[in-house]
Chain A
Amino acid sequence: MQAFVLIHRRCRVPRLPLTWTFGLAAAFGGFAGTVGALAMAPRARADMVYGNGHIAVYSFSDSVCTDLVDPISVVFVNKATTTNVNTHAGHHGRWTYRDGTMQYFYDHACKPLASQAANRASWGLPGRYHMRHRPNTDAVWGTYSLATPHYEDTLWCGHAVDSNWDEAPGGFVKAKWEVGYRWHNWNNGGGAHVYVHSEWWGNTDPQWQCDGQPAWNDGWTDIIRID
C-alpha cells in the first residue's frame, strides 16, 4: 500500500501555475469552438462564387475577373489540352496565328488564357477568326478547354466583332459555327472531333463594338469532344 502511494505521488502530473491552466483551458475551448463552427457551417458550394459560378460564361479583361468581355461558346472536352486544341485549330481551320491581347478565364479561380488561335494575324484584312482558350481537368469533361471564338473585322477603329444587326448571325455565332461545322466536316464523317451537344448558358449580353454596333452570342454553348 505504501509502495502504491509512493508511485502514485511520483506519477502525479506536476501542478501547473494558475495562468497556464487558464491558458490551456482557453486554447482547448478555442479548438472545440473552431471544430464546432466548422461542423455547423452550411455545406455551401465553397468553390462557387456569386457572379461567376464554377465557370464564368464570359472571359474577362482584368486579372481579378470583374470585367466581362467575350462569351464562352465552345468547350472542347476529353483530351482538349492546349496543345491539342491548337493542333486541331491549325489542322482543320488553319487557325495557326497566336497573337492577340491578354484575357482571363474564371474556372474555380481567375487565371490568364493559355493560348490563342486565329486564321490571320491580328491586323490582317479584312478580318479573322480568333479565339482565346484555357484548359482544366475534371471528372465529367476530362481535360477540357473553354474557348471564346469570334469573327472580328479589322476597321479604322480597331477590331469589331460582326454585328448581329446587319451581319446576322453575328461574329460570335459565325465563329462558333465555323468551329462546329467546318472544323468537323460533318458531311464527310467528322474524324477525330465529335459534336456532343449544346447547352443553354445564356451568355447573350450585347457587346458594343468600336464601330458603334453590338454583337452577341445566341446563348448556346457547344460541347465538342477531341479524341
Chain B
Amino acid sequence: METQRRRQRLGVLGAALGGFAIAFLVVSTVRGGPGSQPGTLPRRPVLTAQQRAERFQAGEPWQGRGRGPWSQADVDAFADYALVWLGEEFAGYHLQAVSRTKYDAPPDIPTARPQDMVTFIYGTCTPAPGAHGCLAPASVQIQPACLVRPEQVAERVKHGPAETVRGGGRLQRFADGHVMLWIGKIVVRVNVVADPDRVDDAVRQLRGVGRLNAALRAGGPLASPDFSACPRQ
C-alpha cells in the first residue's frame, strides 16, 4: 500500500516536471530566449529568393567605365581623400557606376548641409510595379569623416554599440542592416540591400583604391578614426 502511494506521488511529480519542461521549451522558443543572445532581434521578413532575383540584377561587367561619370582612371587618380571599394564585382553584382557628389550648402538654407561623397554602385534593379525607382543591390559610399561623426548618428537607428574591426576601424551597425566604418580621416557606408547578411563579408572584402589608399588589401588592417582635422563642434 505504502509503495503504491509512493509510486503515485512520484508519478504526479513526474507529470508536473514534464509539463514544466514542455511549457518552458515552447515559450523559450517562441520568445527567442534564453538561448538567444541579449540584444539579438527577430528578423524582419525579407524578400524571397525569387523576389530578389526579380528585383536585383548583376548588371554589365565593369570594363573600366560604367554608367556613371567616373572611369577607372578617375578612381585611380583620386587623391582628395582615401577610397575603399569592393573591387569590380561583389556577391555577383558588377560595379555599375562611380561618381563624386560635391556641393556646398546654400548659405540661405539653415537646414542644408554640404556633401562630398564618392559612391560605388554595384548591380542594377527593376522597380516594383508603381514605384519610380529601386535601391541598388549593394553600394559603398565614402565621405570625409568630419562630415558625419559617430556622435551625430541618431540612437534610434543604431543597432548595438560601436565595434572595432580589422584592427582599428570603428564600425557602427544600423537597424536596417547597413554599417558605417570610420577609418582614418574617412567614413565609409556599406550596404548590401539585396542580402543584408552579406554586410560583414563586404566589410572583410573592403580594399583600397585611388592614389592614397591602393596599398590596402582585403582583410588588411584598418586605421583608427582620426578626427584631428575636423572643426570643433
Contact = CB atoms under 8 A, between A and B. Distances in A.
B65 interface: no
A34 interface: yes
Given A61-B131, A66-B45, A195 B111 contact: yes
B112 interface: yes
B17 A29 contact: yes
Contact of A207 (B34, B130, B135): B135
* Chain A facing B: main interface SS: mixed
B41 A177 contact: no
A126 B96 CA distance: 28
A114 interface: no
**For chain B, which range describes its interface: under 10, 10 to 19, 20 to 34, or 35 or more residues?**
35 or more
**For chain A, which range describes its interface: under 10, 10 to 19, 20 to 34, or 35 or more residues?**
35 or more
Interface stretch (B161-169, B170-178, B205-213, B224-232): B170-178
B109 A168 contact: no
Contacts of B41: 44-45, 48-50
Interface of B: 8, 11-13, 15-28, 31-34, 36, 38-47, 51, 55, 67-69, 97, 99, 101-103, 106, 108-113, 115, 117, 119, 121, 124-125, 127-128, 130-136, 139, 141, 148, 152-154, 156-157, 159, 174-178, 180, 189, 191, 193, 196
B157 A57 contact: yes
A3 B103 CA distance: 100
A42 B34 CA distance: 6
A214 B136 contact: yes
Contacts of B67: 212
